[in-house]
A and B are shown apart, each in its own frame.
Chain A
């Protein structure tokens, strides 16, 4: 019990002495654990809204479609197959076949595409869209799918045009038969008109006569039938069997449609998990920077512990315990914050009814988050702790600091450079480990930024449209990615400031000497900034390909879309400028420290 109490007392005393560093460490690890918690708890949360919508609209178990071939209308055989499916064994109810076509839509100056479905004015037994505004269709009027209406900014009472013909909007509704905008085409679209693209097409209901009248030679009529099965669990099998031998007959099961609805949250989950790993590695770098800067300070403490009988094991335990305690606190904080903020990311959008289920913290989630937090702390502190534990007692008590590293070729090369770069290169070369940490920290952040640029490029290609529609899918992902990127940049910025300050403290004698020998304060400040900017350049160059590789890894083999070249190139000078600005103040303060005082205090 005694050693445990001793360890706890030492940990508590050290945390009290260095509150700001402890707070920073806590912040760094909490950022990683919060993001990880969010990523883990999001799984399956949209199942509830889909089921609520399905129940409220008598959603179909299977929605089957007969499409028109390239050069003609739907064949009689395909129409017969559709009708036969509606009467097949195991089908207990059906609605349709309903006519379906595609039209160019105009609304409030925007241009989009519409999947136009003809419906009866009387309610159907299977798939009766539930109104959230206004009333159901009547001749000459339109009802819009809720998510599509929101993207267009259309309300009941507004007007739209379809292939140039005006239709007043009398209602807005939700359905479980087709995924909401912008996911409509994930269950199949047949777009021939140049204005139509998967990213700008949404669902509209008209009367059957109105829908049929919109068909053209390019966008012919198709037919859709909605089925209820005696055994809904067999929907996948029924959908796969239907049209297995035909490219004009297709069917989607409720399970497949539900999965498309979950795509947004799945994408968010992917982004969060990737972001949490980046933040976790950045947190390791943050801890390593702080530990490295403090370890020389703690060497004397190690000597005292050993002199009074502390074993290397106890010494290592004291050094590790502090960071593991902070990691545990950060794990708890991350779990709580993640649990509380998860609902902000599980909004199913206006295309589904109800709210997402409350995310739950399972034992597995808790275990994973705690394990990651502890791993982060141990990874950053294990080697320094073991090294310190085995240092000789005499050397530790003499408080001899770790001498700076000599890199002969760097010193020789720096002699040819202007004074600020000469000083910067030599300062940076004194501590190679810190140099690497600085570069890694920047590389992680830049890879996050590049990943965001890559995702944006992909979204612009797949979901972007010149129509100007507000895309709720990309909006939510963009906000999430922005949040993760801001967290990465903030953490990397704090790292940069701390590394600069650790550099200044470590090199204070050398810097004072350089001033005594004729370096101006401005040259000293510029040198310190250069010592941080040079590894930032290396980090930026490394981070760009890393970010692209990261996206390729989560893409699971899908075709990669690369961002434009100029933003990628701009990341490099942008990163160096940000680092130079962040380190300017500590560098300036360091360049003006009193020389005589420092040199006097360093008397051997």
Chain B
């Protein structure tokens, strides 16, 4: 369980992203206030097009808000240059995408070590860290395989390993099980549970109630705004997990 009274590692205030003008104005994210404590897992759910993914991009500095503030570990992202954001993403943020977004021409190991190389680590250190992470996600025997030789679930596990390459403060996951079958979804679910148990801060955008059930907090989003927030007790062992048929998957 996370200690939500700790200073938030990630917070937003009045966050807005608008497109168009006048009658054509669209608010993809509308006045969002969010606080995520260190070690907390927050799930964001909502219908398609409600702005969940856009929110995630704003939290990770992949997009610039129209108004409002985004703070990560004391640094204000919305006022940073592209260069500053890139440097922050190396060490503070890990991304997991619905489409995996692995480099097709790189092996699993080479994909996982890439953030470390971009952060300036030595090739040896990057390779060692990659091996360690692939072992953690159970893919040591697939380390030399290209993404085309991996199943969907395996690719997503490689993507998760990559996101952890530089020990980020926050992992932002956008529909991590959106393209996976049930079995692969369970594999990814177990990984997120393990990360949660290890104290990793996670913000997960998802349609999947099973994934949401692993969270400490569930935020519902509609038309770009937060409409509901529920504190989930016990994570995967809690009542919501029971309702989702998720009991017994702990450890």
Q: Which residues of A contact B (CB under 8 A)?
A: 403-406, 411, 415-416, 419, 422, 426, 429-430, 509-510, 513-523, 592, 594-596, 599-600, 602-604
Q: A403-B148, A517-B89, A599-B97 are in contact. List 16 more A-B contacts (CB 8 A).
A: A403-B105, A404-B104, A406-B105, A406-B146, A415-B117, A415-B126, A416-B123, A419-B118, A516-B89, A516-B95, A518-B87, A518-B166, A521-B83, A594-B63, A596-B63, A604-B98
A515 touches B57 (CB 8 A): no
B98 touches A518 (CB 8 A): no
Asked if B101 contacts A602 (CB within 8 A), the reply is yes
In the complex, what residues of A have CB within 8 A of residue B101's CB? 509, 513, 516, 599, 602
Residues in chain A near residue B8, CB distance under 8 A = none
> Does B114 contact A517, Cβ atoms closer than 8 Å?
yes
Distance (whole angstroms) from the CB of A19 to the closest CB of chain B: 31
Q: What is the bound-complex CA distance between A52 and B216, given in angstroms?
A: 102
User: In whole angstroms, what is the CA distance A521 to B86 when docked?
Assistant: 8
- Which chain B residues border A594 with CB–CB below 8 Å? 63
**Contact status B86-A518, CB under 8 Å:** yes
A85 to B97, CA, bound (A): 99
Using CB atoms and an 8 Å cutoff, list the residues of chain B in contact with chain A.
53-54, 57, 60, 62-63, 82-83, 86-87, 89-91, 95, 97-101, 103-106, 110, 113-115, 117-120, 123, 126, 146, 148, 162, 166, 179
Chain B residue numbers with a CB within 8 Å of A521 are 82-83, 86
Q: Across the interface, do B117 and A422 meet the contact criterion of CB distance under 8 Å? A: yes
For the complex, give the distance between the alpha carbons of A127 and B101 in Å: 86
14 A-B residue contacts at CB 8 Å? Answer: A403-B105, A411-B110, A415-B117, A415-B126, A426-B105, A430-B105, A510-B103, A516-B60, A516-B101, A517-B95, A521-B82, A603-B98, A603-B99, A604-B99
Complexed CA–CA distance, A519 and B116 (Å)? 11
Cβ contact within 8 Å between A514 and B146: no
Q: Name which residue of chain B comes closest to A419, CB basis.
A: B118
Interface contact A403-B104, CB-CB below 8 Å? yes
* A contact residues around B91 at 8 Å (CB): 518
> A406-B105, A419-B117 given as contacts; is B62 within 8 A of A518 (CB)?
no
| Inter-subunit contact A411/B106 (CB<8 Å) | yes
CB distance from B86 to the nearest CB of A (A): 4
What residues of chain B lie closer than 8 Å to A604, measured between beta carbons?
98-100, 179
* Bound-complex Cα distance A290 to B224 (A): 43
**Bound CA span A422–B106, Å:** 13
Cβ of B83 and Cβ of A517 under 8 Å apart?
no
Chain A residue with minimal CB distance to B91? A518
Q: Which 4 A-B residue pairs are closest in the complex by CB-CB distance?
A: A518-B90, A520-B86, A596-B57, A406-B105
Query: Which residues from chain B contact A592 at a C-beta distance below 8 Å?
Result: 82
In the assembled complex, the Cα of A599 lies from the Cα of B114 at a distance in Å of 17
State how many angstroms separate the Cβ of A598 from the closest Cβ of chain B: 10
Tell me the minimal C-beta distance from A309 to chain B in angstroms.
Answer: 32
The answer to whether A602 touches B89 (Cβ under 8 A) is no
Which chain B residue shows the least CB distance to A430? B105
Give the residues in chain A near B99, CB-CB below 8 Å.
599, 602-604
Q: Which of A403, A519, A596 contacts B118 (CB 8 A)?
A: A519
Nearest CB to that of A509 among chain B residues? B101
Q: Does the CB pair A405–B89 fall under 8 Å?
A: no
Docked Cα-Cα span, A603 to B100, in Å, equals 9
Among residues of B, the one whose C-beta sits closest to the C-beta of A422 is B117
Q: Which of A416, A517, A520 meets B115, CB within 8 Å?
A: A517
Q: Chain A residues with Cβ under 8 A from B97's Cβ?
A: 599
- Residues of A near B117 (CB, < 8 A) are 415, 419, 422
Partner of B105, one of A405, A513, A514: A405
CA distance A519 to B82 in the complex (A): 10
A509 to B87, CA, bound (A): 19
B103 contacts A513, C-beta separation under 8 Å: yes
Q: How far is the CA of A596 from the CA of B57 in the complex (A)?
A: 7
Q: Is the CB of B105 within 8 A of A600?
A: no
Minimum CB–CB distance from B26 to chain A (whole Å) comes to 15
Minimum CB–CB distance from B148 to chain A (whole Å) comes to 7
Asked whether, in the complex, the Cβ of B118 is within 8 Å of the Cβ of A517, the reply is yes
Distance of A427 from chain B, by nearest CB (Å): 10
Interface hub of B98, B113, B117, B119 (most chain A Cβ within 10 A): B117
**Pair A596/B62 contact, Cβ less than 8 Å:** yes
- For residue B123, give the distance in angstroms from its CB to the closest CB of chain A: 4
**A604 CA to B104 CA, complexed, in Å:** 13
The residue on B at minimum CB distance from A524 is B86
What separation, in Å, do the CA atoms of A595 and B114 have in the docked complex?
A: 17
Task: Give the residues in chain A near B103, CB-CB below 8 Å.
Answer: 510, 513
Which chain A residue lies CB-closest to B90? A518
Residues of B within 8 A of A517 (CB): 89-90, 95, 114-115, 118, 162
Q: How far apart sit A313 and B114, CA to CA, in the bound complex (Å)?
A: 45
Residues from chain A with a CB closer than 8 A to the CB of B113 are 415
Distance in angstroms between the alpha carbons of A312 and B188 in the assembled complex: 45
Q: Which residues of B contact A599 (CB under 8 A)?
A: 62, 97, 99, 101
Please, how many angstroms separate the alpha-carbon atoms of A520 and B89 in the complex?
Answer: 10
Per the bound structure, the CA–CA distance linking A422 and B14 in Å amounts to 39
Q: What is the CA–CA distance of A602 and B104 in the complex, to the nearest angstrom?
A: 13
Partner of A600, one of B53, B166, B179: B53
**A603: chain B residues within 8 A (beta carbon):** 98-99
A422 to B90, CA, bound (A): 16
Q: Provide the residues of chain B in CB contact with A513, threshold 8 Å.
A: 101, 103
In angstroms, Cα B87 to Cα A522, docked, is 12
A596 to B91, CA, bound (A): 19
Among residues of A, the one whose C-beta sits closest to the C-beta of B152 is: A604
A514 touches B123 (CB 8 A): no
Across the interface, do B62 and A516 meet the contact criterion of CB distance under 8 Å? yes
Contacts of A411 in B (CB 8 A): 105-106, 110
- Residues on A with C-beta less than 8 A from B146 are 406
Q: Smallest CB-CB separation from B115: which chain A residue?
A: A517
Residue of A with least CB distance to B166 = A518
B177 CB, min distance to chain A CBs, angstroms: 13
Which of A521, A602, A604 neighbours the largest number of chain B CB atoms within 10 Å of its CB? A604
Bound form: Cα–Cα A406–B107 in Å: 9
Whether A514 contacts B118 in the complex (CB less than 8 A), given A404-B104, A415-B126, A596-B57, comes out as yes
> Whole-angstrom distance between the alpha carbons of A404 and B148 in the complex?
12
A513 to B103, CA, bound (A): 8
Closest to A595 in B: B62
Question: In the complex, what distance in Å separates the CA atom of A514 from the CA atom of B103?
Answer: 9
Q: Is the CB of B83 within 8 A of A415?
A: no
Which of B90, B103, B115, B179 has the largest number of chain A CB atoms within 10 A? Answer: B103
